[in-house]
């Protein structure tokens, strides 16, 4: 079995020597056959040249790809997959924030039967070095958004880690988007695999050089999550869910009118059966259409869960409406914002629980 270690680089010259040395020690100690694939985007500091030189003078099994036309982290990793000869691929950064000593542990998980082994910051024993609480909060918040928006990855604690190992077959047939922002998330959505395991590790400090990522990171991340939702058909569901929701408004109003005008019911009371009928209407269409392929729990459970979502939505709607009105906002506008929040809450709850 051969391991291909894929390392995207941009201006990482000063990290290479220690990186190669530690990789080579770790792999030799564990007894794995390996190759290092450096995918460099024509770094001004000539990282590619130094990588080749280290390979020649010190005998490390390095293959260097110098890209002069393309750029970007994800596309570099995808290129690495194409060049790799191994049975197991490992992806890691060059800056030593990913300790090379973890590689054998990841590979061992693959040998034991995992298809993807992630070096994870967010399982017990893992962590990050020297991050302020707000940076942790942003990181965890971003992951949480990804996990609820993409139910397929909801069991993965660190789906955006840049340090992981996988079997070649996982990505061989996958149509990975080179402009994707987080390559692991892309693989978790589009790859062919069954078992994912996470191995704890501490995300260290950058040894030399500086970070290339930052600035628009959050926006790019959200764009990537959106593209993956689209690819997964989750955006289609969202559209269907809103169409059904709109039909519910018609049902609600229609029955309210019928109960009050035709049956002479009390206006305060009539609202209750009208709302319940709208909930039932929405449930039926969502069950038969929006989430048809996801019916796993018995009907009565789905029905109860759908009502829980409706109740939660109503509470959220009110919790947003009341303070906004109190703060002086126009009550119709406040209600609209409340409805939007309720919509998101109901969709996510139904997607992850009722039809989860």
Ligand X SMILES: Nc1nc2c(ncn2[C@@H]2O[C@H](COP(=O)(O)OP(=O)(O)O)[C@@H](O)[C@H]2O)c(=O)[nH]1
Q: Where on the chain is the footprint of ligand X (CB under 6 A)? A: 8-10, 12, 39-41, 71-73, 76, 93-95, 97, 211-213
Rounded least distance, CB 201 to ligand X, Å: 14
* Out of 15, 74, 75, 97, the residue judged to bind Mg ion by CB under 5 A: 97
In whole angstroms, give the CA distance from residue 225 to residue 222: 5
Tell me the window of 88-96, 100-108, 322-330, 347-355 that interacts with Mg ion (CB under 5 A): 88-96
The token pair that represents 26 in the structure block: 């770790």
Q: By the 8 A CB rule, do 107 and 86 touch?
A: no
Q: Supply the angle between the helices 73-83 and 183-190 in degrees, to the nearest 10.
A: 60
Measured from the CB atom, the residue of 4 and 97 that comes closer to Mg ion is: 97
Shortest gap between Cβ of 9 and Mg ion (angstroms)?
Answer: 11
Give DSSP secondary structure letters for 141-159. Answer: HHHHHHHHH-GGGTT-S-T
Question: What gap in Å lies between CA 286 and CA 11, rounded to an integer?
Answer: 51
Task: Output 67 or 168, the one with its CB closest to ligand X.
Answer: 67
Closer of 204 and 254 to ligand X (Cβ): 204
Nearer to ligand X, 206 or 240 (CB): 206
Shortest Cβ 94–Mg ion spacing (Å): 8
Decide whether 73 or 278 has the Cβ nearer to ligand X.
73
185 binds, among Mg ion, ligand X, none (CB under 5 to 8 A by kind): none
* CA nearest neighbour of 151 among 232, 238, 240: 232
| Binding test (CB under 5 A) with Mg ion, winner from 35, 41, 95, 115 | 95
In this structure, are strands 127-128 and 62-66 parallel, antiparallel, or unpaired?
A: unpaired
How many C-beta atoms lie closer than 10 Å to residue 227's C-beta? 17
Min separation Cβ 339 and ligand X, Å? 37
**How many residues are there in the chain?**
356
Q: Please report whether residue 43 would count as binding Mg ion according to CB under 5 A.
A: no
Which segments of the chain are extended strands (E)?
A: 2-9, 33-40, 62-66, 88-91, 116-120, 127-128, 164-167, 196-200, 202-203
Binding interface with Mg ion (CB under 5 A): 93, 95, 97
């Amino acid at each position: 079995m051969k391991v291909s270690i894929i390392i995207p680089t941009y201006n990482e010259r000063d990290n290479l020597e220690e990186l190669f040395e530690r990789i080579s020690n770790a792999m030799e100690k564990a007894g794995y056959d390996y190759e290092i694939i450096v995918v460099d985007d024509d770094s001004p500091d000539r990282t590619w040249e130094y990588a080749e030189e280290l390979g020649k003078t010190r005998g490390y099994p390095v293959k260097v790809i110098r890209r002069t036309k393309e750029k970007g982290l994800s596309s570099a990793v995808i290129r690495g997959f194409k060049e790799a000869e191994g049975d197991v691929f490992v992806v890691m950064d060059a800056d030593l924030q990913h300790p090379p000593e973890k590689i054998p542990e990841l590979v061992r998980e693959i040998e034991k039967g995992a298809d993807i082994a992630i070096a994870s910051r967010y399982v017990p024993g893992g962590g990050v070095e020297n991050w302020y609480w707000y940076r942790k909060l942003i990181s965890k918040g971003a992951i949480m958004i990804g996990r609820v928006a993409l139910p397929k990855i909801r069991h993965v604690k660190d789906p955006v880690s840049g340090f992981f190992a996988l079997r070649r077959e996982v990505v061989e047939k996958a149509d990975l988007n080179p402009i994707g922002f987080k390559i692991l998330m892309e693989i978790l959505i589009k790859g062919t695999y069954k078992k994912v395991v996470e191995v704890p590790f501490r995300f260290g400090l950058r040894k030399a050089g500086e970070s290339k990522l930052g600035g628009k990171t959050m926006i790019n991340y959200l764009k990537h999550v959106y593209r993956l939702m689209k690819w997964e058909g989750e955006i289609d569901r969202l559209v269907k869910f809103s169409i059904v929701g709109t039909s519910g408004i018609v049902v609600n109003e229609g029955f309210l009118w019928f109960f009050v005008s035709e049956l002479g019911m009390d206006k305060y009371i009539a609202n209750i059966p009208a709302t319940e009928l709208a909930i039932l209407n929405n449930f039926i269409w969502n069950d038969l259409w929006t989430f048809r392929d996801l019916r796993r729990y018995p009907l009565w459970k789905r029905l109860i869960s759908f009502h829980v979502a409706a109740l939660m939505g109503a509470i959220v709607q009110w919790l947003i409406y009341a303070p906004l009105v109190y703060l002086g906002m126009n009550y119709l506008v406040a209600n609209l914002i409340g409805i939007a929040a309720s919509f998101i809450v109901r969709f996510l709850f139904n997607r992850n629980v009722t039809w989860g």
